[in-house]
Amino acid sequence: MAAKPSIPKGTRDFSPVEMAKRNYIFNTIRNVFHLYGFEQIETPSMEMLSTLMGKYGDEGDKLLFKIQNSGDYFSGITDEELLSRNAAKMASRFCEKGLRYDLTVPFARYVVMHRDEISFPFKRYQIQPVWRADRPQKGRYREFYQCDADVVGSDSLLNEVELMQIVDTVFTRFNIRVCIKINNRKILSGIAEIIGEADKIVDITVAIDKLDKIGLENVNKELAEKGISDEAIAKLQPIILLSGTNAEKLTTLKTVLAGSEIGIKGVEESEFILTTLATMGLQSEIELDLTLARGLNYYTGAIFEVKALDVQIGSITGGGRYDNLTGVFGMPGVSGVGISFGADRIFDVLNQLELYPKEAVNGTQLLFINFGEQEAACAMAMLTKTRAADIRSEIYPDAAKMKKQMNYANAKNIPFVAIIGENEMNEGKALLKNMETGEQRLVSIEELIAEIQ
């Protein structure tokens, strides 16, 4: 017996109903991006490993899916190298390309390659899949879509404000209640400076970013393992557990970080963003959260994360400011800020909360029953008119038993069925049946279109 087929762990198939839901998500986000003046680009699924490596920190580099070279990749490799069983070193010899880990680094590469064609500031969005060799778990997949919007070539904090407005607009349209968490890497740098561990900023932010997942005790343990002193860890506790309103937190931080120039700069940036947003009438909660660190190394200013309030799941949107991401590709000094919507997690949230509008997931609106060659020809003429009227309609392809055709309509949740027999053909009409109410009446093609519309 043939082996049962399977798919790789951390990936999923999507049925027609699920794809209708996903398209609702993509279309909603795309429409909001357009509303705010963003333009779409696409980049290849695979990038050169030289483009990807070293941009996400050590942890990110480990999660890159590498693509084995074609051809004789053993040529030029010694027996000694093969017998060393050094997987990382061998992979670098076998693999020149990798699947993209996110959309931001490929975007930076795109900006550098196309700098002469771009008008700055450049507002772009991308909706494409990314891949991470992560351990699959609830809400975490190895292949998933990101929906990114970035602005490069502008230092203005109005860009941060607009991106938060985009987040609020998208989740308001989805009817998902969310909390938008905001922090600033400059504040985190200032904290590292104040506690006497400025050179350990990366270790501190990577550890703090795990607070929600592993708890304070394990965060402190990880900090200690990274060589951060007990005294510094003790000083860190009241800062990362700071509570109160956003204004109260900012006031406290101004005092705590008074001796750190970079820390105060981060507080000022956060204050501008939060104060401006407070005048915008956002529907979502906005919280200054000092435990938010965003593990990726390229963030340098404001950082964001969005949590759903009614579902237990990881962040469903994230992003931040990066000052010199294009610098690694030979184009220094170009600042950018962006957000990324996690479409797969949003899909799960909308499913759990049953928030999909009915019209978003309905497919065919009208099915013509097929009684034979003449009736089908008459139905096809009407189909041309219903489709011209933008009614999603189809004809059952075979002259099968009526019960089979009606079962097909029920299985696809088609709300209307048009029946054309000999009498209907003679009158140039159709018997239109409402599958929900069971009501049916004889109508002209014009009446049929008006009824469904």
Residue 81 contacts residue 228 (beta carbons within 8 Å): no
CA 289 to CA 246: how far, in whole Å? 9
Question: Could you tell me what percent of the chain has a pLDDT over 70?
Answer: 95
35 band by pLDDT with thresholds 50, 70 and 90: very high
Question: Which range is least confidently modeled, 71-80, 189-198, 213-222, 274-283?
Answer: 71-80
Q: What is the mean pLDDT of residues 97-112?
A: 93
322 band by pLDDT with thresholds 50, 70 and 90: confident
Q: CA of 434: how far to CAs of 17, 405, 417, in Å? A: 21, 15, 7
So what's the pLDDT on residue 90?
65
Residue 429 contacts residue 444 (beta carbons within 8 Å): yes
So what's the pLDDT on residue 54?
83
pLDDT value at 296 more than 60: no
So what's the pLDDT on residue 200?
79
- DSSP element (H, E) containing 17: helix 16-35
CA 26 to CA 6: how far, in whole Å? 27
pLDDT value at 91 more than 70: no
Q: Say which residues have a Cβ less than 8 Å from residue 282's Cβ, sequence separation at least 6.
A: 164, 165, 168, 180
CA 257 to CA 193: how far, in whole Å? 9
139 band by pLDDT with thresholds 50, 70 and 90: low
Q: What is the mean pLDDT of residues 88-112?
A: 85
pLDDT value at 216 more than 90: no
pLDDT value at 179 more than 90: yes
96 band by pLDDT with thresholds 50, 70 and 90: confident
Q: What is the mean pLDDT of residues 189-210?
A: 80
Q: Strands, DSSP E only, in 284-415?
A: 285-288, 302-308, 317-322, 336-342, 366-368, 393-395
Predicted model pTM: 0.85
299 band by pLDDT with thresholds 50, 70 and 90: confident
Q: Strands, DSSP E only, in 241-356?
A: 285-288, 302-308, 317-322, 336-342
pLDDT value at 67 more than 70: yes
Reduce the DSSP state of residue 296 to 3 states and report it: coil
CA 258 to CA 252: how far, in whole Å? 10
Residue 164 has which token pair? Answer: 């938060």
